[in-house]
Amino acid sequence: MEPSQADHLPTLRPLGLAEQYSTARSHLGIYINVCVTATYSNRHGKDLPDALFNSISAVIAKHPILSAVPVDTTTAPRFISLPRADLSKVVTFIEKPGYTPGATSDPTLDKLVESQHNLPFKQDNSLVTFWRITVLRNPNDSSWFSLCLCFHHSLLDTQSAVIIHQDLEYALAAHDNGTSADIVEGSLKTLLPPLESMVDLPISPDFVHAQQGLGEPPQNWWSGKPQTLPVQTRFTSIWIPSASFTSLRQRCKEQGVTLTATLMSLIASAFFQVLPLEYTIIQGDCAVSLRRFLPDYIDQRSAGCYVGSLSEVYSRESQSIWENAKRTKKIIDETLQLRGADMPVGYLKHVPDISGWLLSKMGKRRWAAWELSNVGGFDDAPGLKIEDRQIQSVMFSQSASACSGAVKVSVASGRDGRLGLGLTWQEEIVGDDMVKELMQSLVDLIREITS
């Protein structure tokens, strides 16, 4: 949105540093968006559009961040408030005759999600929300639909997007088949403060020194081709069947490790199986939810962006999946004990020019081979009756980034018991064939440790 238009709309509050970072990334085309896609049972038949519009209106009223648009200016980065939303521009219906969601892979859904990740939210003076919904359905089978919620990362983290899906499911269950309106009013609720004003993110001098002195990794350290623009995202997904996922969780429990720690270890092993032998070291980044550290006065079902990250290094010489998983769990536990200290998100206070800092990375080699984000399972919204459950499968994904892990592995599970793995990578930075081999290797390793 151009500043001239933004000047006529009310300011909600200044952007926090993490929000400025997300806005700068998207403005520069470095990182575009995030998607959480869920398959719903359809109890409204041909009245689904009306039911959805009414339900989305209720969700907008509940979450003020959905009426916020980030304005990226050097003088006053801020959220402005959209007075209303035109749902006919926010929601798109796509019909695919003969389409049925796949059990282990879904090329139709992959194509849709990939297209969403290559469609940025632009500040183009159009008064459009910085989130959108795409509904995929089969005109010959009205019993279900898939709903892709795509959003700008300054608005929401993935857990917040899951909450949006939960609240939408609740609203759909309560819908009474009344008429709907395309134009809906924005939320009147007060926008929550930014992450930095709610969670202390202290940075030690040693961490600052390490970040400022960060050069490029050694030659035996694989991280894809150097960081560059433009970004064209590629996406593929795989579903781990319910029985295999149940076995995987049981094995994690037996070994005293978390699913996230095990997935980090499995991904490292999968990489070493497909990389040339000259690469002996790789780094994996892992998203960490900071929601648990929000003050008590913040509702845990509030929508916003409350996420940090950690990094772990893996060696080809150490190929024990469970030993690596235990080591990774220890790192995650130690990171959580620091309650947000010494994280990259906290380092942003030492970056005077975020856009310049991001652009200075171009042409240099990155450190991380991958980034794992695990949003976990899908719970009910408070008050939802079991018989009103509609969401079955959940797939989480995010656009590739010119400045972080070469492959992004996004993980979620739905009520159907399957584990969804969404992999994204930047075209020409990582080869399509390599990602295909990586995914197959990961699936084989899961099968190996659960059989």
**Cβ(34)–Cβ(160) under 8 Å?**
no
pLDDT exceeds 80 at position 74: no
Can you tell me the distance from the alpha carbon of 366 to that of 368, in angstroms, rounded to the nearest whole number? 6
**pLDDT bucket at 289, cuts 50 / 70 / 90:** very high
- Of these ranges, 3-17, 53-67, 75-89, the one predicted with the greatest mean pLDDT is 53-67
pLDDT of residue 180: 81
Task: Give me the mean pLDDT over the 217-224 stretch.
Answer: 98
pLDDT of residue 73: 66
Report residue 341 as tokens: 């200290």
Is the bond preceding 64 in cis, omega lying within 30 degrees of 0? no
**Cβ(389)–Cβ(380) under 8 Å?**
yes
Query: What percent of the chain stands above pLDDT 70?
Result: 97
**pLDDT bucket at 3, cuts 50 / 70 / 90:** low
Query: What percent of the chain stands above pLDDT 90?
Result: 91
Give the residue with greater pLDDT, 62 vs 179. Answer: 62
pTM higher than the cut 0.85: yes
Give the residue carrying structure tokens 């969700």: 59
Task: Give me the mean pLDDT over the 87-99 stretch.
Answer: 96
State the chain's mean pLDDT as an integer.
Answer: 95
Residue 337 identity: Q
- Which domains, ranges and CATH numbers included, belong to the chain? 3-194 (3.30.559.10), 196-450 (3.30.559.30)
Give 38's contacts (C-beta < 8 A, 6+ positions apart): 146, 147, 149, 165, 378, 391, 392, 393, 394, 395, 414
pLDDT of residue 48: 95
Residue 41 backbone phi and psi in degrees, to 5: -75, 145
pLDDT of residue 373: 98
Tens digit of each residue's pLDDT (9 = 90 or more) over 110-153: 999 999 999 999 876 567 899 999 999 999 999 999 999 999 99
Q: Positive or negative, the Cα torsion across 300, 145, 60, 180?
A: negative
Tens digit of each residue's pLDDT (9 = 90 or more) over 204-215: 999 999 999 999
Query: Which range is least confidently modeled, 103-107, 123-127, 247-251, 252-256?
Result: 123-127
pLDDT exceeds 80 at position 4: no
